[in-house]
Each structure stands twice: as C-alpha cells, then as structure tokens.
Amino acid sequence: MPQTLFDMIWDGHLVGARADGRELLYIDRHVLHELHAPHAFEELEKQHRPVRRPDLTFSAMDHTVATKPGRDDNTNPSGAAFLKAMREGSVRNKIKVFDLHDPEQGISHVVAPELGMVLPGATHAVPDSHASTVGGVGALAFGCGTSELAHILATQVMAMKRPKRMMIRLDGKLAAHVTAKDVALRIISEIGVSGARGHVVEYAGSAISSMPIEQRMTLCNLNIEMGGRSGFVAPDDMTFQWVAGRPYAPQGALWDRALAHWRTLRTDEHAVFDREHGVNCSTLEPQITWGTDPSMVLGISGRVPDPSSAADQGRKAAMQSALTYMGLTPGMALEGLPVNRVFIGSCTNARLPDLQVAADIVRGRRVAQGVIAMVVPGSSTVKRDAEAAGLDRVFRDAGFFWGESGCSMCAGGNGDRGEPGERIVSTTNRNFEHRQGTKVRTHLVSPATAAATAIVGRIADVRHIPGRA
C-alpha cells in the first residue's frame, strides 16, 4: 500500500505499543530549554529516575535570556533562577548545555538544525509548541509539556496515538517580497487556528521545491498556529546540501550512507491523506494579521473585515473583540497605520536570510522618528554570521537595536516587551492579546514587511518601497 513519508518515519521509529494502546515513538534528538526543563529535572530526581540518553539530549537557554549587549544571568532578573536551575540540572544529568556565553547559544529551534543535530527523517522533541520548525529539514518534530519532557528524558520515547495525515500543497511561484511567512499566514487564514488539529502536515508542491530551507523552517514553525501536531517538508537535494558539513551531521562514509537513506524519504505517489488543502501562491501579496489570533489575516492591500460577514456568532464575537483590542474599524486599510515598535526576531523569522532580506530594505535608510526598532538574531551563530556580513552595521546605522540572541519579544519571557497601547509590527508567531506586553497590539508580518514598516513608521507595503536609497 502506498505510504506517506510521515508513516514511513513513524513506522521506522516505532518501538512498540503500550497496554493502553499508545505507540512508543523513539526520539532521536531531544532539545530542552530553561523555562520548562528545570521542573522536569526536579520531578525525575524525586522519582529517582535517570536520564536515559543524555548523549542525544541538549539544553538551550532561550526563553528568559536578556538580549542586551554584555548580558549576564542577572540582566533579566527573573531569568537568573531559570538559568541557574537549567545549568545545574543539565550538568547533573550530563547534558550538554548551550549556555549564555556559548558561541552557539540561541533559540533551540534555530540552533538544532543549524548545528546539524536534527537531520532528515529523524524524530525530534522540544517542550515548546514551535518544535516542528525543524520540519524544514525533513525531521518529524513534536512539541510537548513538562511531564512529557520528563517522560522522554527517562525513556527516550514519546507515548502517542498516531496522528492523522494532512497534505498542504503549495503551487505557483512567489512574487517578489512574498515569503514563506506570507504563505503560512495565508494558509492559517484559510483553514483556521485549529484547521490542522490532530494532523501531521506534509507541505509539498512547486512553491516548496524552490523554497530555501530557512523559509521551509518558517512555514513549518507556524504549523502549530493552525493547530497541527507536526509539520514537515520532505527532504530534497536542497536539504542535503544545507545539512552537509554541519558539525553534528554525519561526516565521511557515514554521510554517504545517511544520504542514500535520505533519498528514499518521500511520500509514495498514490498515498492517501486524511485531509488535503491547496494554495496557489502565485497570486499572493505580503500578508499581515489584523486581529488577535494568527488566522485573522489580510493581504497588505486589503481592508479590515466586518464582523457581520462572520460565518457564525462565535466568530463574529471574536472578530468584534479583536477589533476593539486592536483599535481598528471594519473597512479600514492597515497600510499607513502608525506604529510604535518593530521587532525582527524569534524562531519564526530570525535566521540569517531573514536578516539579510530586512537589511536589504533598511540599508542606507533610517528608522522613522519615534519608532523603536529591534533585531534579535535567532542564535549567536546567526548573529556572528550577520556581523561578518556587515548586517549589524546596516541595522545600527539605521537606528535599530542589535541584540544578543534569544526568544526576546516573541513571548516577552525575558522582559523585552512593548508598552501599553503600543502598536507593534513583529516577525513572530502569535498576536494574542497581551502576549508582547500589556495591551500591546501586535501585527504579524514577514521580515521584509517589518523592515519596510520600521523605515516608513507606518504599516508599509514593502513592494512600494523604492529601490535602495
């Protein structure tokens, strides 16, 4: 029977089944972070249970770390206890920790693929809902809570019911200044914030074949915002080239063997999916959220919708509440709306090409008067590479804050957040009420749109920014 790639990877990692019917899925790579792992360490120690495979486990410091240059444990005072507990727990359990001053510190979802820890066809778990970012290299990744994290530490498996299969086909050619972020926002607006619930999504189609790996990661990162259990792109030659030579990836003869296996990782032609969805990407323009969940999306030239157009009463109420919170009225354009702050960063959009795209728009220009603009690289490696390419100068000369790597303003766990009432254009993943600060109004966009907005000082259509100044 024709198989999906999801089933191939799942079956290839199936250890057995428990008496309760849950299947035991082996986890090849487990990456932890300091916001949740300390609780799991403590719980396991209480149960006198050791970590089974510390050699396949890594610790990131990302959620609570300060982004201020010269930072230490106490720069974000509320982060210090988390960093200490994480460091000590990792050392006690012989887990390598990418500590605050490690040259490869960064956001777990950025660091794991960047160092080649996570590989095509591998299974991966992180106690964070954006785990499936690494689906961009063809890995099958699951986000989980703290108890499950402890379970994986003790057993190296996840006990799960097999999710359903979903295919999202992305065809066509993206127009200039339209990126994976815009595609993802479009999909979420079409299928809703629970449209992929219970499913593992495979993204395929001609728009995927030509999509760079970092953008595939952006796409897979946002899979959870449509409720998906996981999401990935089947690995191809572009993936193999991207992974080759990364420090934790196989080398030499082992690489050749791995590559031969990875070339078999594809969905059979007539494999059946439980759900399918398609998007024609050729007609897409840059997208932006207008509301308070990631499905409330507009094309940049669009108008804020009228709640009376809602499909049901629940949605109507949600839209009305979102309009009030966001300070918008039906029928208005978002383009031209003044903003207080621009944030470029997070596991969604802070890899090197994201920063390059933004820098290309910013180069030779200034951040508009009164706008606070920040760039926070996704990892210390990204930061170093960006500095080597002179991008930090481009941003700083324009008046951007250039920070140390971490999750920063995405969830504000490190104290980086906006002031009440501010309108923020952000390359992150959630525009929930108060997420980026009390009463902060967040609009999710691509790095290109964020950069253009910072320069103009108003929500901008990047396509209307004239050629480099």
**Whole-number minimum distance, CB 175 to another protein, in Å?**
31
**The only residue of 61, 66, 137, 144 in contact with another protein, by rule CB under 8 A:** 144
Nearer to another protein among residue 144 and residue 386 (C-beta): 144
Which of 241, 278, 301, 432 binds another protein (CB under 8 A)? It is: 432
Query: Per CB under 8 A, which region of 148-156, 214-222, 334-342, 447-455 contacts another protein?
Result: 148-156
276-315 residues near another protein, rule: CB under 8 A: 293, 314-315
Q: Which residues pair with 125 in a beta bridge?
A: 30, 142
Q: Which token pair is 310?
A: 């809602």
Nearest to 90 by CA among 142, 151, 42: 42
d(CA 191, CA 262): 31
Nearer Cβ to another protein (378/412): 412
312 burial type by CB count under 10 A (0-12 exposed, 13-18 middle, 19+ buried)? exposed
What's 249's DSSP letter?
S
Q: Is 26 in the site for another protein (CB under 8 A)?
A: yes
CB of 409 or CB of 448, closer to another protein: 409
Nearest to 359 by CA among 370, 341, 373: 373
Exactly one of 186, 266, 435, 441 binds another protein (CB under 8 A); which one? 435
CA distance 71 to 100: 9
Could you say which DSSP state residue 387 is in? Answer: H
Nearest to 394 by CA among 451, 453, 467, 466: 451
Rounded-to-integer distance, Cα 438 and Cα 325, Å: 11
Site for another protein in 75-94 (CB under 8 A): 78, 81-82, 85
CB of 209 to another protein, least distance (A): 25
185, 297 Cβ separation under 8 angstroms: yes
- Interface pick for another protein out of 71, 87, 109, 229 (rule CB under 8 A): 229
If one asks whether residue 206 binds another protein (CB under 8 A), the answer comes out as no
CB of residue 111 vs another protein: minimum separation in angstroms?
12
Choosing from 29, 87, 109, 165, the residue that interacts with another protein (CB under 8 A) is 29
Cβ closest to another protein, residue 81 vs residue 388: 81
317 binds another protein (CB under 8 A): yes
